Amino acid sequence: MFSDLLHRLHLWVILILSRRTQLQRKVRKDKMKIILLTGIILSVVQTMFTSEHEKPNYSKPCHHKSVFENYENFTKKHIIQTNGTLNSKKDWERYLNKQGLWCRTTKQSFLPADKKVGVQQICSTSGLYVKGNLCSSREEMMVYEVLSYNCPPKLNSYINVTKKSMFVIVACNMVGKKCLPVHFEGNQNLKRTKNPCIPSQRPPTNQSKVFDLKERLAAQD
């Protein structure tokens, strides 16, 4: 009789300890879920607050968005749109008139057509950061400098063309999903840095942190 009672008491103690252990595990699991959920909520709130109350930093390359027309205007104004040679002033006069660029400004700069990809690559890790959203080529490039004189309404306007080797500096903005040049910077006195135009890797965004927390939460189940 006594041994039977002792046995039942022993089983009862084991049952209580087992339930206590299960409860402790459930509490720890629930606590971990609460911590992860809190992290997700804070990350979402931070993302919403940043998008609504903070303006993006447009003072860096590839942070400002431009329409494709801006890039097209850049190429029309600064990349020669023909594979033919422009050896004389007459060739240049015909070209400028055909492109609607005659006397567009007093000073215009043009790069050869085969340098189009090279100019695009300035707005990548291949270029060097200057300041703001400006980046420079690492090597000097051949540039045609066209000076216009006596522009309309005067009738005796004319041009002078010189060929120079210089570092090409452009403004880099996001055009669609690609960072492209949208402005030619004529100031050659700007100092280039040794840093690439854009970093090779960007830190993870708040949104990616949210997905990471969700995966960790799912792993707890």
pLDDT tens-digit map of 4-23: 655 565 565 566 656 666 66
Closest CA to 137 of 71, 101, 185: 185
**Tens of pLDDT along 167-194?**
999 999 999 999 999 999 988 899 999 9
The span from the CA of 189 to the CA of 141, in Å, is 16
**CB contact at 8 A, 174 and 64:** yes
Q: What is the pLDDT of residue 200?
A: 77
Closest CA to 158 of 81, 77, 93: 93
Say what percent of the chain tops pLDDT 70.
Answer: 64
- Sorting pLDDT into bands at 50, 70 and 90, what band is 151? confident
- Sorting pLDDT into bands at 50, 70 and 90, what band is 78? very high
**Tens of pLDDT along 19-55?**
666 666 665 665 565 565 555 555 544 444 433 333 4
Q: What is the pLDDT of residue 21?
A: 64
Say what percent of the chain tops pLDDT 90.
Answer: 53
Q: What is the H or E stretch that residue 3 is in?
A: helix 2-53
To 5 degrees, how large is the angle CA 137–CA 139–CA 142? Answer: 90
- Sorting pLDDT into bands at 50, 70 and 90, what band is 208? very low
Chain centroid, CA 12 distance in Å: 66
The CA distances from residue 142 to 85, 95, 145, 163, 204, in Å, are 14, 18, 10, 7, 39
Identify whether 153 is preceded by a cis peptide bond (ω within 30 of 0). Answer: yes
Mean pLDDT of 122-135: 96
